[in-house]
Amino acid sequence: MNVPAEVEFGQLLIGGIGFMLLATVALVVFVIVYQKRLLRQQLRQRLAEAEYQQHLLAAVIEAQEHERERIGRDLHDGIGSTIATAKMLMSRLSADAVTPDAATLLGMIQEIMGTAVHDVRSISHSLYPAVLTHFGLAEALQHLVDICNETGSLAIKLEVAYLQPLVLAQELALYRICQELIHNALKHARGATQLLVGLRQQAGGLTLTVEDDGCGFAPATSGAPLATGAGLRSIEVRVQMLHGRLRRHSAPGQGTSTTIYLAAPAAT
């Protein structure tokens, strides 16, 4: 017996509707599963970013604590002992008894107090470089280099091509980066005699380079104090704040070079 066309059409329609419902349900399930997976991925990414920011914050705090410790040590071991020595020499001078050694003692006291004044200025400058506020980054770096040349073991040379000033916060971050890199080179660059600091501004952006002529190290070795210490972590935080990039190169016998890249600097 032949099935009427209307019945056959109805069966096809019901089958089509059923297929559409199944496809719709499958699509909804797929979208829900995909959204859940996407949400989980976004959550993992946010957790990773939060953890990274926490590590960066910890690095900043650690660097600040190291800086406070260094300043306290400099005050105690440097200026404290210097003034104590001057006080001891002054106690040997008597107002009513001028001895042949008085002039010599006074000369020694003047020299010691001069050293103390220099140390106070150095520590004050390391805490906040007032010259940066008044004269800008180039002059502040030159002042930093001059101070380091007076007391350090390396001959430091500064090359500047810096015409478009950045905002003060950016200049201060670059100054701190350079300060940390110079301090690291003075402390760790074995065999180095010279240190070149370069601040160069071009149309594509700005670069800050600190390069020594020491013995260098293999990148995979543990002879890279900056690579794992609080110094590099504090530098990385500041570079991230500047939306810049950091690149470090070293090889045995070729010294060490660290370069900070900033693209499209903001003008004041």
Query: 137: domain CATH number?
Result: 3.30.565.10
Q: Which amino acid is present at 204?
A: G
Answer yes or no: do 85 and 172 share one domain. Answer: no
Helix axes 81-91, 102-127, angle to 10 degrees: 160
Answer yes or no: do 137 and 166 share one domain. Answer: yes
The pLDDT of residue 96: 46
Following DSSP, what letter does each residue of the chain receive, concatenated?
Answer: -PPPHHHHHHHHHHHHHHHHHHHHHHHHHHHHHHHHHHHHHHHHHHHHHHHHHHHHHHHHHHHHHHHHHHHHHIIIIIIIHHHHHHHHHHHT-BTTB--TTHHHHHHHHHHHHHHHHHHHHHHHHHH--HHHHHH-HHHHHHHHHHHHHHH-SSEEEEEEE--S---HHHHHHHHHHHHHHHHHHHHH-TT--EEEEEEEEETTEEEEEEEE-S----TTSS--HHHHSHHHHHHHHHHHHTT-EEEEEE-TTS-EEEEEEEESPPP-
Answer yes or no: do 145 and 238 share one domain. Answer: yes
Is this structure's pTM higher than 0.75? no
Answer yes or no: do 67 and 174 share one domain. Answer: no
Residue numbers of the domain that contains 100 = 1-127
3-state secondary structure 150-191: HHCCCEEEEEEECCCCCCHHHHHHHHHHHHHHHHHHHHHCCC
Phi–psi pair at 58, nearest 5 degrees: -60, -35
- Boundary-marking domain end, from 101, 127, 153: 127
The pLDDT of residue 58: 66
The pLDDT of residue 200: 92
Question: Looking at the 3D structure of the chain, how many domains does it have?
Answer: 2
The pLDDT of residue 133: 82
Answer yes or no: do 112 and 209 share one domain. Answer: no
The pLDDT of residue 24: 86
Per-residue pLDDT tens listing for the chain (268 residues): 455 666 676 777 777 787 888 888 888 888 888 888 888 888 888 888 878 776 776 676 667 667 766 776 776 677 777 777 777 777 766 554 566 677 777 777 777 777 777 777 677 666 667 788 888 999 999 988 998 888 767 899 999 998 888 888 889 889 989 998 998 888 887 888 899 999 998 877 899 999 998 888 776 544 444 445 566 777 888 888 888 999 988 888 888 899 999 986 444 4
Answer yes or no: do 120 and 241 share one domain. Answer: no
Answer yes or no: do 103 and 165 share one domain. Answer: no
Answer yes or no: do 121 and 214 share one domain. Answer: no
Phi–psi pair at 198, nearest 5 degrees: -125, 130
